[in-house]
Amino acid sequence: MLIRKAHCTIAFLCALLWSHWAMAETTLRIAMTASDIPTATGLPNNGFEGMRFLGYPIFEGLVLWNLSGTDRLATLRPGLAEKWEQDPVDNKTWIFHLRQGVKFHDGTDFNADAVIWNLDRYFNSESPQFEPPSSAMSRARVPVMGSYRKIDDATVAISTTKPASYFPYMAVYLLFTSPASFEKAGRDWAKVATLPAAGTGPFRITRIVPRQEADLARWDKYWDTSKTAKVDNVVLLPIPEANSRLAALRAGQVDWIEVPPADGVDSLKSAGFTITTGSYPHVWPWFYNIGAANSPFKDVRVRQALNYCIDRDGLVSLLNGTAEPSVGWLKASDPDFGAPVNHYKFDPTKGKALLAEAGYTSAKPLAFKVLISNSGSGQMLPLPMNEFLQQNLKEACGVDVEFDVIEWQVLLTAARATPDSSTLRGAMALNISSPSSDAGVMARYFLAANFSPNGFNFEQWKDDEFEAALKTISEATDPKVISAAYRKAHERLVDDPPWLYIVHDLNPRAMSPKVKGFVSPQSWFVDLTLVSVQ
């Protein structure tokens, strides 16, 4: 009898433990490269890493990225708008038809009023909800924003300041927060981030601890039931130092790290960790400060010279093959790369000859300062990479480069400074990794209308042939005409370079073998709903 009772007790305990295990929540822990938690009011800072983790998973736009595939550049898909079209009688106006029945995480309705309220938050400095930091980012990402109006509860019209065929590729960066979040926080955006704020995405924020972690939970009432998240919780941890991220993964403190140190990749593979890489629209350059009063980069020969002076293959070796050489804004294999006159490669003889033509010799070497970060979104491993370039430029072409290392978000802010601003501390270049995904991004980075501080053309670069090509892209409807103009525009970016093109990142991540279902899309962003932890 005692034995029977013992067996019964053991069976009961086993069943209880099994039930507990089966119902145990799953948590995905991610180490970001950011040094702080991106802002959590609905439009995060810290570049596209902020959008990747504290943006799209929680807050959504009228237009979203399709992140389900790996075989081509990510395309757009309907988000909080079921569909959109250009007004047939006004090619500067877009009509967005809103998805019905969507609610924010706080239970309030998403509708046209919420759209207008958020657009006022970004673009109307007289509105009570105006948020200057989010406005600065939004105005830079959507420099053609004009007017907007509610047509009815399910329809809004947005007009651009000029025709822009690529406007949906800009609208994807405008995310929507519940107006009730602002009211609940006493109309104080600083307090909105601690509520936490409510979005419409597949995850909701449950806790923010500045500089420590952000906690997300699956939103079981998500409007797209086909994309209900597979994990219960996500914990986001800012760990800017690469070897610290590596140590955290090895110790089991995190399940996923962004950008493992290059010299740790092979050992991670040997230990059974998963390393993912993949092509995506990314370029890791130096932005030339062409507009500064005494800038050496006003001379195109100097800008071209440095593109011949750098040893891209050597840098790729340093990175253990997690990047590939960049000889333009687009990859050389891209069908829209075009046929520029300059074919950049490591050619110190040509580089020194161009520098000499511009007046820089061993007796009068080119010397300048570059602002760089110690980490950040898409920055890969900026300290060793920049040290390599510093030595490379000195040895190959006699160029003296000085670095000023600042925090990533400060560096991003510097990109919107005017050329001689004191915030640049005399820098003649900025090292900021950047997207190269579509004509909308090309327009906001390089059109003369987007000179800093109004837009992302930090260099204050202007090329008449480029301007003409972008005008064609903006106004044309024939895909062949648009593609030909896109190629022409890119040829000008190579031959009249506003940037020093260095490498394209291959988006490396390291993960515990417990992490399943991850897709590495050709995008800066990822779909966390696909991921499970076993």
At residue 265, the pLDDT reads: 94
Neighbouring residues of 255: CB distance < 8 A, sequence distance ≥ 6: 28, 29, 30, 249, 511, 512, 514, 515, 533
What is the percent of the chain where pLDDT is above 70? Answer: 96
Question: What is the three-class DSSP state of 28?
Answer: strand
In this structure, the answer to whether residues 346 and 471 fall within a common structural domain is yes
**Pair (415, 499) in one structural domain:** yes
In this model, does residue 426 exceed pLDDT 80? yes
- Boundary-marking domain end, from 110, 145, 178: 178
Q: Say what the pLDDT of residue 22 is.
A: 43
Is residue 166 domain-shared with residue 224, that is, in the same domain? no
Strands in 256-384 per DSSP E: 256-258, 274-276, 282-288, 323-325, 367-373
| pLDDT (mean) for 297-318 | 98
Residue 200, pLDDT score: 98
Domain that holds residue 93: 60-178
Number of structural domains the chain divides into: 3
**Average pLDDT, integer, range 166-187:** 97
The CATH number of the domain where 165 resides is what? 3.90.76.10
Contacts of 218 (CB under 8 A, 6+ apart): 202, 203, 228, 229, 231, 232, 233
**The token pair that represents 500 in the structure block:** 């020093």
- pLDDT value at residue 4: 42
Mean pLDDT of 297-320: 98
User: What's the pLDDT tens digit per position in 193-219?
Assistant: 888 999 999 999 999 999 999 999 999
412 and 265 inside one domain: no
Residue recorded with tokens 């509610």: 150
220 assigned to some structural domain: yes
pLDDT of residue 454: 85
Q: Are 96 and 62 in contact (CB under 8 A)?
A: yes
**Do 301 and 443 share a structural domain?**
yes
Contact 410, 35 (CB under 8 A): no
- The predicted-structure confidence for 228-265, as pLDDT tens digits, reads as follows 999 999 999 999 999 999 999 999 999 999 999 999 99
**What CATH number corresponds to the domain at position 356?**
3.10.105.10
Q: Residue 2's pLDDT is what?
A: 40
Asked whether residue 14 is assigned to any structural domain, the reply reads no
Decide if pLDDT at 20 tops 80.
no
Residue 13: inside a domain: no
Closest CA to 434 of 495, 388, 497, 503: 503
DSSP one-letter code for 522: B
Q: What percent of the chain has pLDDT over 90?
A: 93
- The model's confidence at residue 8, banded by pLDDT at 50, 70 and 90, is very low
Compute the distance between CA of residue 111 and CA of residue 80 in angstroms, rounded to an integer. 9
Q: What pTM was estimated for this model as a whole?
A: 0.89
Residue-level pLDDT at 23: 53
Please check whether residues 271 and 159 belong to one and the same domain: no
| Mean pLDDT of the 131-151 span | 96
Same domain as 482, residue 376:
yes
Co-location of 421 and 459 in the same domain: yes
143 and 131 in one domain? yes
Q: Mean pLDDT across the chain, nearest whole number?
A: 94
Q: Do 478 and 341 belong together in one domain?
A: yes
472-512 residue pLDDT tens: 999 998 999 999 999 999 999 999 999 999 999 999 999 99
Alpha carbons 243 and 290: distance in angstroms, whole number? 36
DSSP 110: P
243 and 256 part of one domain: yes
Q: What are the φ and ψ backbone dihedral angles of 113, each rounded to 5 degrees? A: -60, -40
- Cα separation of 207 and 413, whole Å? 26
Tell me the three-class secondary structure of 192-236, residue by residue: HCCCCCCCCCCEEEEEEECCCEEEEEECCCCCCHHHCCCCCEEEE
DSSP letters spanning 117-163: HHHHHHH-TTSTT--HHHHHHHHHH-TTEEEEEEEETTEEEEEESS-
Residue-wise pLDDT tens digits, 396-409: 999 999 999 999 99
3-state SS string for 40-94 = CCCCCCCHHHHHHHHCCCCCECCEEEECCCCCCECEEEECCEEEEEEECCEEEEE
Residue 18 — pLDDT band, cuts 50, 70, 90?
A: very low
- 258 Cβ neighbours under 8 A, 6+ residues apart: 30, 31, 32, 33, 49, 245, 509
296, 377: one domain? yes
Contact 513, 302 (CB under 8 A): no
Give 446's Cβ-side CA count (13 Å radius): 29
**Mean pLDDT, residues 58-82:** 95
Domain at 513, CATH number = 3.40.190.10
